[in-house]
Amino acid sequence: RYGVPLDIIAAIWGMESNYGSFMGTLPTIDALATLGFEGRREAWAKDQLLAALKILQNGDIARANMIGSWAGAMGQTQFLPSNYLAYAVDADGDGRRDIWGSLPDVIASTANFLARSGWQRGQPWGVEVRLPADFDYARADTQQTAALWAADGIQALDGTPLPALTDSSLLLPAGARGPAFLIGTNFRTLLRYNNSTSYALGVSLLAQRLGGGAAVQTPWPRDLQALSRTQIQSLQTALNARGFETGTPDGIMGPATRSGVRDYQRSLRLPADGYPTVELLQGLP
């Protein structure tokens, strides 16, 4: 009905609630009222609280059964109240949209969310690829067709032709030393569900394995130490001071920070993959 593979739905279900076994224990109204009263996202929380009250008013769930996470996400695939109002589906026909206790409602609601957020029927999320030896890592964020990436020497690791992705880019989750993935529109749709690259990649790879596909083939550089938010903020501040603009130091790796890191890497004649490392930070005054 929605064109979203069950492997993707099952992977989200597993990531969000361990397949429905843990949906959180906090009353949603209480959690959102607290965040709306005092917190860094008060306006957002108040809007979500009003949405949650509308759900109760509609009779979809009793207040005692409306439980979820500390941030107000609810049910087996952790919908925020506003997303519930927009995308939840009564798939079992009982007159209620029950993402807590009805698996048909859970599956259909999650699929509807993705379908209406841009999921492209029949397209894969992406594929693990091999990069040519002379690849310019600074081009990883460039969006172009898979055919153009193939012309640049990008190859699928399993030797098959690259999927016909019309708007694809490269994801290097561990920098130049780690695996590389060619990702398309459906990967970016998963970011609409949870705006975290690690989350979207986790869902994608779990779905691939659930569907009988291969695990990641390229060894992960496990000696690389991830930087903390404080360390990233220190890196941003130091790069800005040296003229490598990263934007306002906030400890978050966004496009501006990756661009500044790449410029700094170029100045050192290192692969400009935009990946922050402890060595880069230690090399800055």
Enumerate the active-site residues: 16
Torsion of CA 99, 105, 111, 112, to 10 degrees: -90
Largest CA distance in the chain: 64
CB 57 within 8 Å of CB 85: no
Pairwise CA distance, residues 244 & 235, whole Å: 11
SS3 state at 30 = helix
For residues 136-165, one letter each, b for 16 or more C-beta atoms within 10 angstroms of the residue's C-beta and e for the rest, the string is ebbebeeeeebeebeeeebbbbeeeebbeb
258 is written with which tokens?
């990756």
CA 138 to chain centre: 21
**In terms of Cα–Cα distance, which of 178, 179, 196 is closest to 187?**
196
Q: Annotate 211-277 with DSSP letters as a single string.
A: TT-----SPP-TTPPPPPHHHHHHHHHHHHHTT----S--S---HHHHHHHHHHHHHTT--------
**Other CB atoms within 10 A of residue 282 CB:** 7
Q: Annotate 158-177 with DSSP letters as a single string.
A: TSSPPP--SSBEEE-TTGGG
99 is written with which tokens?
């993402």
